[in-house]
Amino acid sequence: MKPNLLSEEKVIITAAITGGAHGKWSNPNLPITPEEQAKDALECYEAGATVCHIHVRGEDGLSTADLNVYNKTVRLIKEKCPIITQIGNGIGARIEYGIKVSKSGKRYGQALKMATLEERINLLNIDPQPDMFTINAGTFEFRTNMRGMETSSIFNNPIDFNKNYVNGCKKIGAGIEIEVYDTSHMANIMELVDMGVFQPNEKLHFSIVLGIKGGAPATVRNLLNMVELLPEGSTWQVVTIGKYCLRTTMIAMCMGGNIRTGLEDTVYYRKGELVKSNAQLVERMARVAKEIGREPATLDETREKLRLK
């Protein structure tokens, strides 16, 4: 696809309200309970977001695969507002402490533990059914800095798993967002097209994820390159983390793409100033969209663009 700097097409705003790793220690305004997430989803919807990207937490505040928590969260959000519910199929990472033992017998160090493929495929059984699920288009080493210490884990996304996940989504009539972290992931998706998992004329929706250690760095060159690799007719958004979030999001909006914002992606509103709420971030992006002549898409327009039932 070619970027369109003069696009006046309405922009889909996705609110990624929680994320799957950092906790309230990074920002006390991060919503982690189902009640907090439902409240934030409503506020984001009222601010202009039409998609809510969801990860959930257990009672310990860490990521969980517990369907009871997912069921409650999705139900409460749907009761609050009609925003499109989208489940991140990576679930998230739990931090394990004391993974090493010193000569004196003291445990130290930490590591990331990713959800299993079995736990992730089980997300298709969430009730009430979410509107959308994401897939992650390739395996890579996910590295992140947690509380001043870099930790890593293999984020396992084999093509057979994605094939089964896509087929499962189609069976229940759920929409699919494809997260690509580098150009090899684009090739993996085209392989799924060749397999017939996606149809050659099927309109696909992509998230171009930049700035995750282990994936493509957040640069304008990488964004442009990955946009140009997208199949014609696709819809797309950019996802960037931390200090790159605002600027790359604005660049993507100017290129004709859609955008994602929220406390999953950045805990700071600007340097040194913590975000007050997810709605604060959505309000800023809705304001910028209007300033460049791209109104935020309505719920019905979003459903039509993403081909949701």
Query: Which domain, by its residues, includes 244?
Result: 13-305
Give a yes or no: residue 215 inside a domain: yes
pLDDT for the residue 147 = 66
How many Å apart are CA 79 and CA 112, to the nearest integer? 34
CATH code of 128's domain: 3.20.20.70
CA separation, residue 72 to residues 4, 15, 172, 226, 239 (Å):
40, 19, 20, 36, 26
Rounded to two decimals, the pTM is 0.94
Give a yes or no: residue 136 inside a domain: yes
pLDDT for the residue 65 = 96
> SS3 for 200?
coil
Element (H, E) at 16: strand 13-16
Give a yes or no: residue 229 inside a domain: yes
Give a yes or no: residue 1 inside a domain: no
Give a yes or no: residue 222 inside a domain: yes
Give a yes or no: residue 216 inside a domain: yes
When divided into structural domains, the chain yields a total of 1
Give a yes or no: residue 4 inside a domain: no
Provide block-wise average pLDDT over 10 residues at a time, the chain (309 residues).
93 96 92 98 98 96 96 98 97 78 75 91 98 97 76 91 98 98 96 95 96 93 96 95 93 96 96 97 98 97 95
DSSP state of 173: T
Give a yes or no: residue 5 inside a domain: no
